[in-house]
Amino acid sequence: MTWAIPAAYALLLVLLVYRYATRRPRLSNYAPLVTGPLVSVIIPARDEAVNIEACVRSAVATDYQAVEVIVVDDRSTDGTPEIVERLADGPESRGRARLVRGAELPAGWFGKQWALVQGYRAARGALLLFMDADTWQHPELLPRAVRALEVERVDLLSALSRQEMVSFWERLVQPHVFFALAARVGDLRRVNRTRVEWDAVASGQFILTTRAAYEAVGTHEAVRNSVVDDMALAQTFTRHHLDIFLTHAEEYMGTRMYRSLAGILEGWTKNLATGVPLAFPPILLLRRLAPYLMWLPAFVWIAPPVLWALFGWPWAALATVISLLIWLMVYRVSGAPLHYAVLFPLGAATVAYIMIRSALRGSRRIEWRGRSYHAD
What's the rounded mean pLDDT across residues 348-360?
Answer: 96
Q: Is the distance from CB of 77 to CB of 47 less than 8 angstroms?
A: yes
What is the pLDDT, as a whole number, of residue 339? 96
What is the pLDDT, as a whole number, of residue 54? 97
Confidence bin at 110 (pLDDT 50/70/90) = very high
What is the pLDDT, as a whole number, of residue 367? 75
Distance set, CA 23 to CA 149, 185, 261, 278 (Å): 19, 13, 30, 24
Alpha carbon distance 145, 298 (integer Å):
35
What is the pLDDT, as a whole number, of residue 364? 64
Q: How far apart are the first and last CA of the chain?
A: 45
Question: Residues 36-76: pLDDT tens digits?
Answer: 999 999 999 999 999 999 999 999 999 999 999 999 999 99
Q: Residues 250, 8, 314, CA angle at the centre, nearest 5°? A: 115
pLDDT at 10 over 80: yes
Alpha carbon distance 340, 327 (integer Å):
9
Sketch out the chain's domains with CATH numbers: 4-21+279-373 (no CATH), 27-258 (3.90.550.10)
What's the rounded mean pLDDT across residues 213-228?
Answer: 97
**Mean pLDDT of all residues belonging to the chain:** 95
% of the chain at pLDDT higher than 70: 98
Relative to beta strand 253-255, strand 244-248 is: unpaired
Which is nearest to 51 in space by CA: 71, 66, 69? 71
Q: Is the distance from CB of 109 to CB of 102 less than 8 angstroms?
A: no
